[in-house]
Structure 1
Amino acid sequence: MPNMLWLVLCLVPALTYAQTCPATTSSPWRLSTSNRLVTFGDSYTDESRLQYMIDHDGKVPPLGTQLPESPLLRNWARRVAVNTGIELRNYAVSGAVCSNHITPRPFPPIRGNFPSVLEYEIPAYLEESLAAGEEGAVSTVFALMVGTNDLGNIGFVTDSQVDGKVLRDYTRCLFEAFDQLYASGARSFLLFNTAPLHLAPQFADDDHGGQEATQYWPDKPSNRTQIARKMEQQTTSVNEILRFQVSYEMLVAGRYPGAHIALFDTWQLLTEIYTNPTAYLNGSMPAKVSDYEHHCDVSGENCAYEYNHTSPDSFMWWDELHPSEQVHRVIAREVVETLEGRSQYAAYW
């Protein structure tokens, strides 16, 4: 009976995004105990891995290749590394999904589908780790931020997923990714839920700055309201599934004995920025959450910056789909708080 009481007391706050009992009793989330951050995901995290593949006819970087930062902006992962001194190993690929067995997305410049988390990114890390003779990874935090493409066009929002696949398959894939890492010795996981993509100009309705055809969606249908509503339904549904699934896997199923997971509420943080922009956007011009800084035509050419790139921190979005560098700063700040075990945007198990 005491064990059952403990489970109930821990599970209830976990479902409300409060700090849970496992984190307060063992206090594993301390930067002083972590020396490496390994990241997986899509363009919200990638720095130059996809660009390498484009430049090398679809070939992936050889083991141990040191890839440069993105020349466009410094993302949240790099900022965490710079601000804390922690080592960053970034395996994210722009355009990636969790699994190409669920939502494959072709990309002609690399002569195939965008590499996915499950089939490319994690195996690439495991192969490099094995080649380097690294074992255990107990002082490493493994972060997974993916979903923008899974739920987007050529994904669930356009009903382009593999026949029979549903949102639950996407959330299951996230844990299958953790399964591979756990088997290799990983014990600290940082999982980001999905962003409020219905607020991004790529998917928003007319009242929230929704765009017509874009460089990422040149054949976009005209009913922007329908797209925004479906995207909002998808992201909120996925996040609700994750809210319960993490608790179940950790506290009921015991899927990862000895491990710790932090679930980061990306949806809530970006929604807060959207609804209270002056608290987060500090450029020299008025804050803009329904517009974006970098505009290109549907072919991705003829690009220009708003304000001639003199006020990038006034924008929530860098382009139709991607957060601005200022938003990445805010995310990085909260990720550091999460790694210290004290972020209001994270739940801990």
Structure 2
Amino acid sequence: MRLSSLHTLLALNFALLANAQKNSTWNLNNFNNLVTFGDSYTDENRLAYFINHNGSAPPVAWQQPIGLNTATGGLSWARYASIYSNTTLYNYAVSGAVCSNLITPRYFAAINAPFPSIQQYELPAFLADSAYVTANGTKFFAGTTSDTVYAIWIGTNDLGNDAFLTDSQVPNKTLVDYVDCVSSTLDSLYANGARTFVLLNLAPLNLLPQYATPENGGYAATKFFPDKGPNATEISYRMASSVATTNAIFAYKTPFDVVVARRWPGARVANFDVNALMTDIWHNPAAYLNGSAPLNVTGVIDLCDVTGSNCTVKADKDSYMWYDELHPSEQTSRVIAREFVGVLSGGSKWAKYWA
């Protein structure tokens, strides 16, 4: 065996052994700030700002109000995670976002432009905010290298309709480009001083009512996917394959980047398997949902026709896993937030840790 190959194998084996133990380098008490990037699963009201200001972005050092009615029908998982962990939240997620508009641009008529993405908007917005000094000489962003955790949850739109699912990506772009985009985002954050990262993998999109098989409660068409077509089973299977492939890339690429390639020296990265968590909610709802109505993992709270009209809203919202055909409910978001705090504590069964 070549020496370089042996070194790589030994490094990975050591990393796997270290990861089997509770990661004592992660301590919830060390974190004062949480910075999040993502899409509607995380957004509070950034997209609303773009809509209400003719497509213009929020100014540098924008004081984002707490989103009380997000895509979950309530608070986002990021807000709950901030509350549960007693950290200050800097949330740059934008509904509809993808990782890069150079890979899967998605046009949004309300702003006459593609949805603001992580690479083209969210990341530059944070970098500008992190360097901003107010008139009285204080920094807008209070985070430091040691007390801030950065979380990225992106992919629902990248892999969805009007993107990879419907072969609408930029020619010659693949799922590997999407994964590389996430890694590139970490490169930029690392260069700006970030050292602690949580990567949330792709949710089980094939279980969403929008993409599920008919047997699992999938809808023939939705307001988010009105031209879905007749073969819902094929769509669901293709989505399941794309999600599994991409999450497998994340699972093996992260330890390689951190341990073998030493791409981010001195950094800590946790892979939060939110896919496994949400799949467990789907199979074992009684362990997570707590509404008074019968527990429901296939239906939705807010159901509209394909034009977004004639909506009906269910009561007992905590009984539902999904808010609408594309988004988790507030109760699901609470669970994700609770387990995210467990990841920060260093001993989560849903996470693997690399350093």
TM-score class, shorter: over 0.9
The match for 1:32 is 29
Once the two structures are superposed, what CA deviation does each residue of 1:83-104 show, in whole Å capped at 9, x if it has no partner? Answer: 2210000000000000000000
Where does 1:155-174 land on structure 2 (aligned, <5 Å)? 155-174=163-182
The match for 1:75 is 76
CA shift at 1:56, angstroms? 1.0
CA shift at 1:158, angstroms? 0.6
2:206 to 188, 198, 201: 198
1:333 aligns to what SS in structure 2? helix
Rounded to whole Å, the distance in 1 between the matches of 2:9 and 2:98 is: 39
Q: Report the TM-score, using the length of structure 1 for normalisation.
A: 0.93
The match for 1:331 is 336
Indicate conservation of the 8 Å contact 1:136/1:184, yes or no: no
CA shift at 1:47, angstroms? 0.5
- Name structure 1 gaps, 5 residues minimum: none
Rounded to whole Å, the distance in 2 between the matches of 1:130 and 1:87 is: 17
1:222 to 205, 226, 230: 230
Where does 1:51-90 land on structure 2 (aligned, <5 Å)? 51-68=48-65, 69-71=67-69, 72-90=73-91
Indicate conservation of the 8 Å contact 1:39/1:144, yes or no: yes
1:256 aligned onto 2:253: no
CA shift at 1:136, angstroms? 4.8
Q: Over aligned residue pairs, what C-alpha RMSD do you find?
A: 1.8
2:80 aligns to what SS in structure 1? helix
- One-letter code aligned to 1:301: S
2:95 aligns to what SS in structure 1? coil
Once the two structures are superposed, what CA deviation does each residue of 1:98-136 show, in whole Å capped at 9, x if it has no partner? Answer: 000000000010110000001110110000111134585
Rounded to whole Å, the distance in 2 between the matches of 1:295 and 1:226 is: 23
- One-letter code aligned to 1:93: V
The match for 2:253 is 245
1:10 to 6, 11, 14: 14
- One-letter code aligned to 1:260: R
CA shift at 1:10, angstroms? 2.9
The match for 2:97 is 96
Rounded to whole Å, the distance in 2 between the matches of 1:292 and 1:197 is: 15
Q: Report the TM-score, using the length of structure 2 for normalisation.
A: 0.92
- One-letter code aligned to 1:324: S
Rounded to whole Å, the distance in 2 between the matches of 1:8 and 1:204 is: 36
- Name structure 2 gaps, 5 residues minimum: 134-138
CA shift at 1:4, angstroms? 6.4
Distance 1:20 1:186, change over 3 A: farther
Indicate conservation of the 8 Å contact 2:12/2:259, yes or no: no
2:162 to 154, 157, 160: 154
2:62 aligns to what SS in structure 1? coil
- One-letter code aligned to 1:137: T
Distance 1:247 1:281, change over 3 A: same
- One-letter code aligned to 1:53: F
CA shift at 1:67, angstroms? 2.1
Once the two structures are superposed, what CA deviation does each residue of 1:46-93 show, in whole Å capped at 9, x if it has no partner? Answer: 011101111111111111222221423111110011122100000000
The match for 1:319 is 324
Once the two structures are superposed, what CA deviation does each residue of 1:275-313 show, in whole Å capped at 9, x if it has no partner? Answer: 11111111001111111110112122222212xx2x001
Distance 1:293 1:246, change over 3 A: same
CA shift at 1:6, angstroms? 5.4
CA shift at 1:219, angstroms? 1.3
The match for 2:38 is 41
Rounded to whole Å, the distance in 1 between the matches of 2:146 and 2:172 is: 37
Rounded to whole Å, the distance in 2 between the matches of 1:137 and 1:39 is: 15
1:183 aligned onto 2:229: no
Indicate conservation of the 8 Å contact 1:48/1:70, yes or no: no
Rounded to whole Å, the distance in 1 between the matches of 2:96 and 2:228 is: 17
Quick one: percent identity of the two aligned structures?
47
Indicate conservation of the 8 Å contact 1:138/1:185, yes or no: no
CA shift at 1:11, angstroms? 4.0
Rounded to whole Å, the distance in 2 between the matches of 1:313 and 1:221 is: 31
Rounded to whole Å, the distance in 2 between the matches of 1:264 and 1:10 is: 20
1:164 aligns to what SS in structure 2? coil
Distance 1:205 1:67, change over 3 A: same
The match for 2:150 is 142
CA shift at 1:221, angstroms? 1.1
1:266 to 267, 274, 286: 274
Rounded to whole Å, the distance in 2 between the matches of 1:265 and 1:183 is: 26
Rounded to whole Å, the distance in 1 between the matches of 2:295 and 2:174 is: 37
Rounded to whole Å, the distance in 2 between the matches of 1:146 and 1:184 is: 20
